[in-house]
Structure 1
Amino acid sequence: MTYPFTALVGSEQLTTALLLGAIDPRIGGVLVRGSKGSAKSTAVRGLAALLPDIATRAGCAYNCPPDLPADLCPTCEDAPVQHRPTPLVELPVGASEDRLIGSIDLERALSDGVRSFQPGLLARAHRGLLYVDEVNLLDDHLVDALLDAAAMGVNHVEREGVSARHPARFQLVGTMNPEEGELRPQLLDRFGLTVEVTAPLDAHQRAEVVRRRLAFDAAPEPFADRFAADGKRLAERLVAARDLLEKVALVDFWLLKIAEVCAAFGVDGMRADIVTARTAAALAAWNGRTEVTRADVRAACLLALPHRRRRGPFDDPGIDEDELDRLLGDDEPEPPQDDPDDGPDDGPDDGDDDPNGSGPAQSDPGDRSAAPPHGPQPQPSASDGPARSDDTERPSAGEAPSTPADDRSPAPSGRVEAAEETAAAPTLLTAPQRRFGASGRRSRGRSRRGAAVRTRPLLSGETARAADLAVSATLIAAATGRRAMSPGARAAGAGATPRDPVRFGLRGPSSAFGAMTIRRSDLRHYERSGKQGHLIVLCVDASGSMGARRRMGAVKGAVRALLFDAYQRRDLVSLVTFRGRDAETVLPPTAGVELADRRLAVLPTGGRTPLAAGLLHACAVIERHARRDPDRRPLLVAVTDGRANATTDAVAESRQAAAHLAAKDVPALVVDTESGFVRTGLAAELARHLAAPCVELERFASGELARTIRLATGR
């Protein structure tokens, strides 16, 4: 049983946004952002129970309206009309592309020998809700399919000899935890509204949440009965708001204000203006009014604009409410003046001009009675960006860090340098991939979960993998190959060219699978391409020269940019530092990049520079992790000026250590921290032995480089 929607506690903004999307599906759906355990999924599933039933034909797989069947729907001609609940279709993060968009109907292909289309989840979601939990973890090939369907309202399939086209108009609802990465901008823009939800901080509210949840788990049906009457009233109000929506008037005054707000906040495109206008009208209909007020426009801006505002990758989402209030002003539009030639009675709209009337123009923007029953108008979005460490000092705005080239005095051992501001647009590091890799969001290569780019025969010595078997291609190869063989070739097991790619020739009452012999040579597998995740090993020079030149603040700022980039792309990170006589693992491989950031903030400097020890220690970290996770390929980022003075042969040892890493095929990048007009070029020499690019720290941190650096390998 589903937890009742009206039993939610402290989720006014979330419930308001979901109800507005249900009133006007043209708004484009809702994205719910929040931390773990904030009732995101519970609210979405509870909403479906409040939506009215839809009329369709019995047995229709596309939820076609009775008067508008899809072209390829075989059941909509003579089937009786029936009412069914508004569909709520859940798209799992690990779903296949075939399951989402549809594919060939294998049962009909084997039994009747014809190719026909088997609809997928997009067909089932037509005229309903398509819910994606953890939408930010969705693979790119599934996101591409969603974007196409959401943009056109139609799912167009061309694959495996099947050509199909059917309507796919749905309200897209996604939930996500920002700690696990952000959405692609194209998909983010497809969500009409966005909401930030957090667990309540009030102890009484938290206790009530626990009390209700325990009661529901103990006796779901009696608990649901307690809120049935509230749910019924809310569903009736939702239907009334839908009926009233077409009568709501959005005057030019507010339309111009919406355009001014969108332009002032620098939102991209015109979709923001359209969605804000529709949301304001839906709010007016929800409150039983036929005219939009300032309160409606303000609340609509807070829901429709935060995720569309142009910002840097680490800027906080949301918009400035004080600036919004300034742009909207304090005045309502002037009501239209009566023509003196008209009679004293001008119809039912006279209440607009009556100071004591109850017409829509007299609505008080601050009137709490105009708010939805679940609470006040939406509040500003909470920040979801990476939290900055409060225990480090930063230079004031506009103050350049002091980096005198002649400051060569040794830094005191244990000195801690504060990090400068993180680079606004970190450079993307990618590596070539010639094997399967762990799923992620960085380098493109062969993957077990990516998009299927082609089918291929099973290679000699390769083990068949049922999870990646291309069933359609295998059956086609078996059916057409058997028919195209001569008796002698069939006995010898030789292959042949298909003669009849349309009809399989499998008929009769016998089992289709029993009538076909599938040989190993018929097996076909998908070859997939997708984004891969990496283990990023940061090898940071923490010797005295870094502190003496006051470069450690800039180094920490650049490393923080790399950490947050890894955070967005679901990479593992490890932090290795070297100073004095040895190197140490400050942070073992982990997905918790915020822990790496905290360790980096208190990183001391001082002592000599054991560069070779640092490189060999990083190599040991890579080798240990490879034994546990062989599919995750490492990336080494060495942050150093290239100096080595721990031993008498330190330079030769560092070159040998670099050549050792290059021989192990470890993609690497050297960030040169040397400053001043005169440069020794030791970091570039180190990069040459690593077979890696070398980038100056200033260029890397400032974003002057191309946005992507493709790392080479040692071979």
Structure 2
Amino acid sequence: MTAANPEADAGEDSGAGGGDAPPDGWARAMRALAVLAVDPGGLGGLTLRARAGPVRHAFDAACAMLPLDLPRHRIGPATPEDRLCGGIDVLASLGAGRMVRVAGLAARPAMLVLVMAERTDPRLAATLAGILDRRHGHCLILQDEGATPDEVPPAALRDRLAFAVDLDDVRHARTATDLPDAAMIGAARQRLAAITGGPEDAATLVMVAASLGIESLRAPLLALRVARALAALSGRGAVAQPDLREAAELVLAPRATRLPQPRPDDHAPPPPEPAEGDLQDNSDSAGATPPHEMIVEAVAASLPPHLLARLASDAGATGAACRGSGAGARVRGNRRGRPLPARPGRPDGRARIDLIATLRAAAPFQRLRRADCPGTAAGRVIVTPSDLRLCRHEDRSDRLLIFCVDASGSAAMARMAEAKGAVELFLADAYAQRDHVALLAFRGTRAEMLLAPTRALVMAKRRLAALPGGGGTPLAAGLVAAHGLGLAARRQGFAPALILLTDGRGNVGLDERPGREAAADDARRVAAMLRGARLPCIVLDSAPRPGAEASVLAGWLGARHLALPRADARAMRDAAAAALAG
């Protein structure tokens, strides 16, 4: 099962713990696949982050070579529940006149490959989590194709899978497939049942997980199973220290949320003298390094690049998820919201059947159908698949109000104070309107986010207590920041709206160089991007003497221009709310 790529580097290390230098992403992926083949049901599966291309194609080919003896099924992010778990086939039951049940893809142990896992429906994620928790031997591969760090599969699924592999930075020339053959994997499976991890091994992995900021207890349990599988692959009869180290690198390193704390230096004060009655002699172990600290040091050296920044982005994105029933755009669904007229359709496990509408559709044809079926019992309603009607509802997504404030120049403090008051007023009504509020400020040469999307009034007041001001006017930089935040919010299900507080007189371009003409050109190009994204926007001109610049900017954005030279926070809030409602 070894197929070497002639373009691969000759000296590349393909093991996860076989050399001093940390292995690359592809070597980790191959090692994870080899371990997964030994215990697919116990380890749950693998999360693969890779865009469509030659590297992912090479990984799929390597995955297909594994002797798992499991059927392989590809599913999508909106796969209906009945296709996985089975159930009653409504159309077949109506046609046969009796209840017809069908088996789902998860009726027997199988490898399920979920493509575009970052778009997984919450109901499907809950169904897959339940399948994995029942421990019937299923193996799940999540193919994460997210383009940005905030596009990730559901945390409930990632937590249940032993491995997480990132191949975004792997070159195709380094994708040499190196996997154990079927005989080696079969022998490892036979040895696996006799290999057990001792209590000290579990305690070591728990302490390593705690040092890396991992809160889930599934992580050390999965790492212990990986250590057992590694011992079986190596032909050992028990878990050894190298197995624990490699298991921590494969399972715990991708889950790290913080860097481990450094060990105390040699200049630390000596420990207190033991009591006279203490009969334990610790002189031999005084200078020894605990096993978990050695593993922590090895894991810290093998942490993937940019991992901590990505996890921080994931956590921020997860906390601002949109739940609906807000004041934003209308969203069609079949579970909640204002009822809409039913429509014909085929039940797929997600939409509910509208019984009243179905009976109304079937009623006019009962005489003809009884003539075709003379043996039908009296009073029985004959329903065909064409009569089925599905429920529909209209919901509203949560709205995100993005305040983008010009914090430059002599009037910066006044504008920032007004913006602060308007943000607090919007937040005071946030729970009633289900609005989230974010605050961006641009000054000097760049823009910065002063308040991430939130509905927490107390936290917002704390963040807005001291706001910077003064410097140049990088108008284009502020528009770029607003554009990025608006698109990210829309991907999370929000309905973003931009409230731009400026006089429109930019004097710093995107290259951070001063110049009004270049700054105006940059602002015009970015405004065209915002207008093309169809992001609702209003421009509030709070200059003491409003000029034409803000009006021109509003024209570029396709936005409404409001001149409020002496507006306070409440007037600003009322004007913005009226403009957005209109």
Q: In which range does the TM-score fall when normalised by the shorter chain?
A: 0.5 to 0.7
* Corresponding position of 1:76: none
Aligned mates of 1:383, 1:193 — CA distance in 2: 18
* Corresponding position of 1:284: 231
Change (3 A) 1:683 1:606: farther
Task: For residue 17 of structure 1, give the secondary structure of its aligned residue in structure 2.
Answer: helix
Task: For residue 544 of structure 1, give the secondary structure of its aligned residue in structure 2.
Answer: coil
Q: State the Cα deviation string for residues 101-127 of structure 1 (Å, max 9, x = none).
A: 43531453133212333233333xx31
Shift of 1:284: 0.8
* Corresponding position of 1:524: 390
Relative contact order (C-alpha < 8 Å, sep 6+): which is higher?
Answer: 1
Aligned mates of 1:424, 1:645 — CA distance in 2: 42
| Residue 291 of structure 2, aligned match among 328, 351, 359 | 328
Shift of 1:523: 4.0
Alignment of 1:582-621 (within 5 A): 582=505, 599=510, 602=512
* Contact 1:31 1:194 (8 Å CA) reproduced: yes
Sequence identity (%): 19
Taking structure 2 as the reference length, the TM-score comes to 0.60
* Corresponding position of 2:306: 383
* Corresponding position of 1:557: 448
Aligned mates of 1:662, 1:468 — CA distance in 2: 47
After superposition, the CA RMSD in angstroms is: 5.9
Aligned mates of 1:97, 1:454 — CA distance in 2: 22
* Contact 1:29 1:171 (8 Å CA) reproduced: yes
Shift of 1:466: 8.4
* Corresponding position of 1:446: 331
| Residue 137 of structure 1, aligned match among 95, 119, 134 | 119
Q: State the Cα deviation string for residues 118-171 of structure 1 (Å, max 9, x = none).
A: 233333xx3121111231122223223222332345xxxxxxxxxxxxxx6411
Shift of 1:474: 7.6
Aligned mates of 1:260, 1:524 — CA distance in 2: 52
* Corresponding position of 1:65: none
Aligned mates of 2:92, 2:347 — CA distance in 1: 22
Shift of 1:484: 9.3
Change (3 A) 1:568 1:140: farther
Change (3 A) 1:565 1:255: farther
Alignment of 1:468-507 (within 5 A): 473=353, 482=362
* Corresponding position of 1:13: 28
In structure 1, list runs of 5 or more residues that go unmatched: 54-85, 154-167, 213-226, 312-318, 333-365, 367-377, 388-420, 438-444, 491-497, 507-511, 587-598, 627-632, 664-679, 693-711
| Residue 571 of structure 2, aligned match among 666, 685, 705 | 685
* Corresponding position of 2:67: 51
* Corresponding position of 1:235: 182
Q: State the Cα deviation string for residues 224-266 of structure 1 (Å, max 9, x = none).
A: xxx9xx87x6121111111111122423332321122122223
Is 1:23 aligned to residue 23 of structure 2? no
Q: State the Cα deviation string for residues 482-526 of structure 1 (Å, max 9, x = none).
A: 4798869x9xxxxxxx976xxx758xxxxx77xx7x5xxx64354
Task: For residue 332 of structure 2, give the secondary structure of its aligned residue in structure 1.
Answer: strand
Is 1:112 aligned to residue 96 of structure 2? yes
Is 1:90 aligned to residue 74 of structure 2? yes
Task: For residue 115 of structure 1, give the secondary structure of its aligned residue in structure 2.
Answer: coil
* Corresponding position of 2:543: 644
Aligned mates of 1:558, 1:89 — CA distance in 2: 43
User: For this pair of structures, how many residues does the alignment match?
Assistant: 462
In structure 2, list runs of 5 or more residues that go unmatched: 9-23, 264-287, 371-377, 417-440, 454-480
* Contact 2:503 2:550 (8 Å CA) reproduced: no
Aligned mates of 2:576, 2:339 — CA distance in 1: 36
* Corresponding position of 1:714: 581
* Corresponding position of 1:361: none
Q: State the Cα deviation string for residues 7-37 of structure 1 (Å, max 9, x = none).
A: 5767221011122122122122111224554
Q: State the Cα deviation string for residues 43-71 of structure 1 (Å, max 9, x = none).
A: 24532443243xxxxxxxxxxxxxxxxxx
Q: Using the TM superposition, name which of 273-282 and 680-689 deviates more.
A: 680-689
Aligned mates of 1:172, 1:117 — CA distance in 2: 25
Change (3 A) 1:429 1:42: closer
Aligned mates of 2:214, 2:185 — CA distance in 1: 30
* Corresponding position of 2:438: none
Aligned mates of 2:346, 2:91 — CA distance in 1: 19
Q: State the Cα deviation string for residues 505-561 of structure 1 (Å, max 9, x = none).
A: 58xxxxx77xx7x5xxx64354476978x8987744264247789974698331695
Name the amino acid aligned to 2:568: L
Aligned mates of 1:662, 1:152 — CA distance in 2: 58
Name the amino acid aligned to 2:115: D
Q: Hey, which of these two has a bigger chunk of helix by percent?
A: 2
Change (3 A) 1:234 1:625: same
* Contact 2:401 2:499 (8 Å CA) reproduced: no
* Contact 1:577 1:583 (8 Å CA) reproduced: no
* Contact 1:51 1:235 (8 Å CA) reproduced: yes
Shift of 1:282: 0.8
Task: For residue 449 of structure 2, give the secondary structure of its aligned residue in structure 1.
Answer: helix
* Corresponding position of 1:261: 208
Aligned mates of 2:65, 2:561 — CA distance in 1: 59
Change (3 A) 1:306 1:115: farther
* Corresponding position of 1:593: none
Aligned mates of 1:49, 1:422 — CA distance in 2: 35
Task: For residue 305 of structure 1, give the secondary structure of its aligned residue in structure 2.
Answer: helix
* Contact 1:33 1:177 (8 Å CA) reproduced: yes
Is 1:275 aligned to residue 222 of structure 2? yes
Task: For residue 127 of structure 1, give the secondary structure of its aligned residue in structure 2.
Answer: coil
Is 1:544 aligned to residue 409 of structure 2? yes
* Corresponding position of 2:251: 304
Shift of 1:385: 6.5
* Corresponding position of 1:245: 192
Aligned mates of 1:277, 1:150 — CA distance in 2: 18
Aligned mates of 1:272, 1:431 — CA distance in 2: 29
* Corresponding position of 1:216: none
Name the amino acid aligned to 1:268: E
Change (3 A) 1:310 1:94: same
* Contact 1:645 1:651 (8 Å CA) reproduced: no
